[in-house]
Chains A and B, each alone.
Chain A
């Protein structure tokens, strides 16, 4: 038995024992589950995904009607989850950046206000905030018949925000083409100006030029194609507004709560990122004759961003996961429609909860993979 004295062999042995034990444990649980399910006469398997769901969903970014299956329910729920998460991530990032910088402002009132905002919204449970904003919307907005009316085309009431919906007719592709060309041109200009800056040190107003391109090119295309876009306006008919585009109070309350809550954490990440940059860096930049704006842009921010990215990634993931709390206010995302209504109609809790958990896992891993790649790219490249 002398080989047991070998540290390496012993290490491998322990790991083997752990793995075998773990696999046996999982097998035992799986076997036990399927035995129990069978003994109780509970239906199992994934056949239910192909059966007709038989109910309706309010917000359907994808085609959904009475003949749709539970698989369609899953897709619609997932689409709604992704929509609210994507909007939430963009808005929370913008708000978080502003608040984070404001927190460090030398203006006493601004920095105190930002601090107050962070301390309040960071420390209240997110579920409470969602319910709060939802009730605020329901309680403060007028009823349908007394909607706030903006220019006869935008209406706001308890049932949501109604806006005109653009309808793209023949020739609209020109506008999209104009937009894409503007994007490509912008990228080329950026490359060219960076190269020129590296070689000659001359500055070029990239941002302004690109912004101008992005606005003018699609407008030009619109005019050339002969105004191919018309608008469908919401009209009050029967019980509700018909036509146009609707943003429901459920969506707005959820988006608002997620944005406000997550922005506090992003603001803190931004602040700590900026504060972590050594004071000497800023002083060095000043002594080189850089203006405060230049020193922030070229010296402080590039270093701060690297420190702030990992905690911000975590907040994006939290936001996506927190969107499942929408079940409380009836926004039809994955947990509400699939792990809610579909589960109850089919009764196959094990399968549905399993699929739902797997989906959130995949979303989270996917987002973190993208952002980790970005993080790696942004890291200081040591030469």
Chain B
């Protein structure tokens, strides 16, 4: 009943809220309300001191740095999968950065807009090594643990149907509950986006006992989401994301950004960092907004390596999330 009440209050908020410029609201409030996962290592998780860390958290920080000039001015709102869209629609949060898959239905019917992709993912399976399973095709009649209110549930049904296999899915509200059920043996298999699987594996008492199967059964482009009908805010978020990608492409990182702002001769770098042109002002931000983002949070590559890269417990390779000139899919329109 409590959950129901929580959702209904959010619903009630839709009934009373009027539309306004989110950018101005955020500036006026002095903090950015950012919706994140309740706990997904590498993407959004509060550490032992209560500091939020992760890829999605870094994106919140980037937006705060660009809009408010300080990456620390973020209020994190932890949301489970089924609360997230209502929270954004009702104005409880300004932006949703919570490993959310960009799909046609979500983009067109929820009154929301996806501002781009900050992680290209795909649904996979994790199994205990002891089961001896090598491929997802061997999973007939398996029991799977799954998080409710995600695209995962539909992909799973589609995949098993297409391959003529049967399955049992036990659905839970949050990542923590799914992981707990899987590691205690309630299910044979944990299925989710591959990034989540790597994140969950770090929670096992002995991560080496589990393997992620090579099969990827869906496309899961994850990205930040904003409310539809607020183009100024939509543009700002879109170009903050493009800025961190362009910065990596141009080799601008948090370490050399000051130097580059003064000495770079590359016109696009100068425009990005606000030394030339009005790129920041065009979307209602300060001229050096993107520079603050890169100085305080870093470029895309830094976000990736700090949170989920090869030197972190998650050990995820860049793969699809490498720059386009490196065999990946990340491609930012030019700052011109």
Contacts and interface: CB of A to CB of B under 8 A. Distances in A.
A344 B141 contact: no
Given A54-B158, A340-B171, A353-B8, A43 B109 contact: yes
B150 A344 contact: yes
Given A32-B16, A344-B82, A239 B229 contact: no
A185 interface: no
B14 A238 contact: no
A58 B171 CA distance: 9
Contacts of B4: 324, 335, 339, 353, 356-357
Contacts of B186: 138, 158-159, 249
A6 B107 CA distance: 61
Contacts of B260: none
A349 interface: yes
A40 B141 contact: no
Contacts of A237: 141
B141 A242 contact: yes
Given A41-B229, A344-B81, A330 B148 contact: yes
Interface in B16-50: 16-19
Given A42-B110, A324-B4, A239 B188 contact: yes
Interface string B303-329: 000000000000000000000000000
B16 to A, nearest CB: 7
A345 B171 contact: no
Nearest to A349: B86
A119 interface: no
Given A58-B168, A330-B171, A349-B85, A341 B148 contact: yes
B2 A58 contact: no
A127 B2 contact: yes
Given A56-B157, A240-B142, A33 B14 contact: yes
Contacts of A242: 141
A336 B89 contact: no
Contact of B171 (A42, A239, A336): A336
Interface in A33-69: 33, 36-37, 39-43, 54-58, 66
Band of interface residues on B? 35 or more
B89 A42 contact: yes
Classify chain A's interface size: 35 or more
A152 interface: no
Contacts of A344: 81-82, 85, 148-150
A356 B227 CA distance: 26
Contact of A327 (B153, B161, B173): B173
B89 A56 contact: no
A29 interface: yes
A277 to B, nearest CB: 35
A116 interface: no
A250 interface: yes
A321 interface: yes
A36 B82 CA distance: 21
Interface centre among A37, A56, A57, A135 (most CB of B within 10 A): A56
Contact of A325 (B1, B17, B143, B154): B1
A186 interface: no
A349 B11 contact: yes
Contacts of B18: 36
Interface in B192-244: 227-229
B105 interface: yes
A284 to B, nearest CB: 46
Interface stretch (B51-59, B177-185, B261-269, B278-286): B177-185
Contacts of B86: 349
B167 interface: yes
Interface in B84-124: 85-86, 89, 105-106, 109-111
B163 to A, nearest CB: 13
A347 interface: yes
Given A42-B89, A238-B140, A349-B14, 20 more contacts: A32-B15, A32-B16, A33-B15, A40-B19, A40-B111, A43-B109, A55-B153, A56-B156, A58-B170, A139-B184, A159-B143, A240-B143, A324-B3, A330-B148, A330-B171, A335-B3, A335-B4, A341-B82, A343-B149, A349-B7
28 contacts: A33-B14, A39-B19, A40-B89, A40-B227, A54-B154, A58-B170, A138-B184, A143-B185, A158-B186, A239-B139, A239-B141, A240-B143, A240-B188, A248-B170, A321-B1, A324-B1, A328-B177, A329-B172, A330-B148, A339-B82, A340-B82, A340-B149, A344-B82, A345-B153, A346-B109, A349-B11, A353-B8, A357-B8
Q: Which 10 A-B pairs have the closest CB atoms?
A: A344-B149, A40-B111, A42-B111, A43-B109, A33-B15, A55-B153, A347-B110, A138-B184, A239-B142, A41-B111
